[in-house]
Structure 1
Amino acid sequence: MQSNKLRIAIRATAAAAVFGMATQAHAFNFSAGDVDASVYGYARLNMSYDIDENVANSGHRGGNFPTINDSNDVNGHFGAAASQSRIGVKATHASGVMVNIEGDFMGADYSGGALRLRHAYGTYKGVLAGQTWSNYNSFVGSTSTLDFDGVVGVAGYGSRTAQLRYTSGPLSLAIEDPKGSLAGTAANAVKKNGLPALTARLEDKAGGLGYSVAALVKQNAYDDGQGNDDSTMAYAVFGAASMAVSDMISVRGAINYTDGANGYLYRSGGADAYIDTNGDLKNLSGVGGTVGTSISLGGGRTINATYGMDKLDVNDLAATTIETRQNAFVNYQWTPVENVMMGVEYGYYKQETQGGQSDDANRLMFATQYNF
Structure 2
Amino acid sequence: MFKPIIKITTATVIGASLMLPLQMAHAQATPAEISALQVQMKALQAQIDALTSQQQATQKEVATVGKNVVTRTPAGDLLIGDTTLSIGGYIKAQATASNNGFGDGKASEIVSPGALRKMNSDQGSRTSMSARESRFNIGTSTPVFGDTLKTFVELDFYGSDNQANEFVSNSYGPRLRHAYGSWGKWLAGQTWSTFMDLNGLGEIDAFGQHASAIFVRQTQLRYTQPFAGGSLQFALENPEDGGDDQSVPDMIGRVNFDGNWGHASVAAMARKLSLDDGTAKDSKWGDAYSVTGRFPTFGKDDIRLQANYGNLGRYMGLLAYPDSVVVDGGTENGNIDSIDAWGLSAIYRHFWTDSLRSSLAYSQTGLDSSGSGNMTDSYDSAFINLMWTPITNTTLAIEYQRFKLEEVDGDNFDLNRMQVSAKYDF
Question: Which amino acid letter does the alignment assign opposite residue 333 of structure 1?
Answer: M
Whether the 8 Å CA contact 1:61–1:79 is kept in 2: the answer is no
Identify the match of residue 331 of structure 1 among 361, 369, 385.
385
For the pair 1:89 / 2:148, whether they are aligned, the reply is no
Whether the 8 Å CA contact 2:101–2:120 is kept in 1: the answer is no
* 1:253 aligned partner: 305
* 1:354 aligned partner: 408
Give the deviation of 1:268 after TM superposition.
4.4
Counterparts of 1:55 and 1:340 in 2: how far apart (Å)? 27
* 1:207 aligned partner: 260
Whether the 8 Å CA contact 2:160–2:172 is kept in 1: the answer is no
Question: Which amino acid letter does the alignment assign opposite residue 122 of structure 1?
Answer: G
For the pair 1:239 / 2:276, whether they are aligned, the reply is no
* Cα deviation 1:321-349 (Å, max 9, x = unaligned): 22111111000000000000000000001
Identify the match of residue 172 of structure 1 among 233, 246, 251.
233
* 1:266 aligned partner: 317
Identify the match of residue 196 of structure 2 among 132, 137, 141.
137
- Where in structure 2 are the equivalents of 1:317-328 lying within 5 Å? 317-318=372-373, 320-328=374-382
Structure 1 unaligned regions, length at least 5: 1-24, 182-187
Give the deviation of 1:265 after TM superposition.
2.1
Give the deviation of 1:208 after TM superposition.
2.4
Query: Greater CA deviation, 237-246 or 53-62?
Result: 53-62
Whether the 8 Å CA contact 1:59–1:106 is kept in 2: the answer is no
**Secondary structure at 1:140 match in 2:** helix
Identify the match of residue 79 of structure 1 among 118, 128, 131.
128
* 2:206 aligned partner: 147
Whether the 8 Å CA contact 1:180–1:264 is kept in 2: the answer is no
Report the structure, 1 or 2, having the larger helix content: 2
Query: Greater CA deviation, 121-130 or 349-358?
Result: 349-358
Shift in CA distance, 140/218, structure 1 to aligned 2, threshold 3 Å? same
Give the deviation of 1:57 after TM superposition.
7.8
**Secondary structure at 1:151 match in 2:** coil
Shift in CA distance, 27/47, structure 1 to aligned 2, threshold 3 Å? farther
Name which one, 1 or 2, has greater alpha-carbon Rg. Answer: 2
Whether the 8 Å CA contact 2:112–2:320 is kept in 1: the answer is no
Structure 2 unaligned regions, length at least 5: 1-72, 165-170
Query: Greater CA deviation, 84-93 or 105-114?
Result: 105-114
Report the structure, 1 or 2, having the larger strand content: 1
* 1:224 aligned partner: 277
Whether the 8 Å CA contact 1:346–1:363 is kept in 2: the answer is yes
* Cα deviation 1:261-313 (Å, max 9, x = unaligned): 41222334221111223222111110011111000111311010101122123
Shift in CA distance, 33/249, structure 1 to aligned 2, threshold 3 Å? closer
Whether the 8 Å CA contact 1:27–1:40 is kept in 2: the answer is no
Whether the 8 Å CA contact 2:140–2:150 is kept in 1: the answer is yes
* Structure with larger RCO (C-alpha < 8 A, sep 6+): 1
Counterparts of 2:252 and 2:117 in 1: how far apart (Å)? 35
State the identity as a percent: 24
**Secondary structure at 2:158 match in 1:** coil
Whether the 8 Å CA contact 1:322–1:353 is kept in 2: the answer is yes
Question: Which amino acid letter does the alignment assign opposite residue 172 of structure 1?
Answer: Q
Counterparts of 2:110 and 2:283 in 1: how far apart (Å)? 36
Whether the 8 Å CA contact 1:258–1:265 is kept in 2: the answer is no
**Secondary structure at 1:311 match in 2:** strand
* 2:63 aligned partner: none
* Cα deviation 1:327-372 (Å, max 9, x = unaligned): 1100000000000000000000110011222121111000111111
**Secondary structure at 1:304 match in 2:** strand
Give the deviation of 1:94 after TM superposition.
2.3
Whether the 8 Å CA contact 1:60–1:148 is kept in 2: the answer is no
Question: Which amino acid letter does the alignment assign opposite residue 346 of structure 1?
Answer: Y
Aligned length: 335
Whether the 8 Å CA contact 1:62–1:149 is kept in 2: the answer is no
**Secondary structure at 1:263 match in 2:** helix
Counterparts of 1:266 and 1:234 in 2: how far apart (Å)? 18
Counterparts of 1:241 and 1:168 in 2: how far apart (Å)? 20
